[in-house]
Chains A and B, each alone.
Chain A
Amino acid sequence: DIQMTQSPSSVSASVGDRVTITCRASQGISSWLAWYQQKPGKAPKSLIYAASSLQSGVPSRFSGSGSGTDFTLTISSLQPEDFATYYCQQTNSFPMTFGQGTRLEMK
């Protein structure tokens, strides 16, 4: 199975900050990586697919990059509604696996 490791596990930031979350795969997954946002008590929301493609309706302050084993999710200017937990997921092969999550907290 492909292991997905996110870093950091948690991060504190302020509105307006630029934040980057990293996801590393235990083996190459080409560009088959997705990112999700989840708020407490809610279902996950899809943000990015194929490493860098934005889902419809997702603000352009979110961006993704990377290929192979190393990927990043960047929020260019944090908004109050962005404080949440973020997960990466490899979609290259089954079993599809998620990272452990990164909790983005308000400083």
Chain B
Amino acid sequence: EVQLVESGGGLVQPGGSLRLSCAAAGFTFSTIAMSWVRQAPGKGLEWVSAIGGSGVSIYYADSVKGRFTISRDNSKNTLYLQMNSLRAEDTAVYYCAKAGGSSHYNGFDSWGQGTMVTVSS
């Protein structure tokens, strides 16, 4: 059974930093592309960032480019999102999502439960 467990969310001041983690189990992590998707309170889904299985291919939404960094440690089956220069508009539930294969063409077939990030003074 696929399991994705996010952690690292919390309250942070504007301009601050936070690192999210997503521990994966139940599949061959190193062969699967992964993404982060967020959802602001009462709003829709927004894709944030994606990374290929080897960690070489990386993509970002314009809204986070230059501030967020996605990475993965395949030896630990863990996905990360380093978030710097946080803004109030980054406040959201952050989900990690497993792609349905080595690429993202087939969308996401599994999601974590989400971790809440609140940016406020």
A interface residues (Cβ-Cβ under 8 A, vs B): 1, 32, 34, 36, 38, 43-46, 49-50, 53, 55-56, 87, 89, 91-92, 94-101
Give the residues in chain A near B106, CB-CB below 8 Å.
Answer: 34, 49-50, 53, 91
Minimum distance in angstroms from B94 CB to a CB of chain A: 11
Give A53 to B50 CA distance when docked, in angstroms: 22
Say whether, besides A43-B95, A44-B95, A32 and B44 are in contact (CB < 8 Å): no
**Other A-B pairs, 8, CB within 8 Å; known A91-B105, A96-B35, A98-B45:** A1-B62, A36-B45, A44-B37, A46-B100, A46-B109, A91-B107, A94-B50, A99-B44
Give the Cβ gap from A107 to chain B, nearest Cβ, in Å: 23
| CB-CB under 8 A for A44 and B111, given A87-B44, A95-B61 | yes
Which B residues are in CB contact (< 8 Å) with A44? 37, 45, 95, 108, 111
Chain B positions within 8 Å of A97 at CB level: 47
With contacts A44-B95, A49-B109 known, is A96 near B104, CB below 8 A? yes
**Interface membership of B27, Cβ < 8 A:** no
Which residues in A have their C-beta under 8 angstroms from that of B44?
Answer: 87, 98-101
Q: Once the chains are docked, how many angstroms separate the CA of A9 from the CA of B47?
A: 20
Cβ of B85 under 8 Å from chain A: no
Q: How many residues of B contact A (CB 8 A)?
A: 24
**Chain B residues, CB < 8 A from A101:** 44-45
Q: A96-B47, A98-B44 are contacts. A55–B112 as well, Cβ < 8 Å?
A: no
With A43-B113, A49-B100 known as contacts, the answer to whether A98 contacts B47 (CB < 8 A) is yes
A99 CA to B105 CA in the complex, in Å?
16
Bound together, the chains give a CA A50 to CA B37 distance in angstroms of 19
Q: Which residue of A lies closest to B112 (CB)?
A: A43
Q: Which residues of B72-96 are within 8 A (CB) of A?
A: 95
Report the bound CA distance from A44 to B96 in whole Å.
Answer: 11
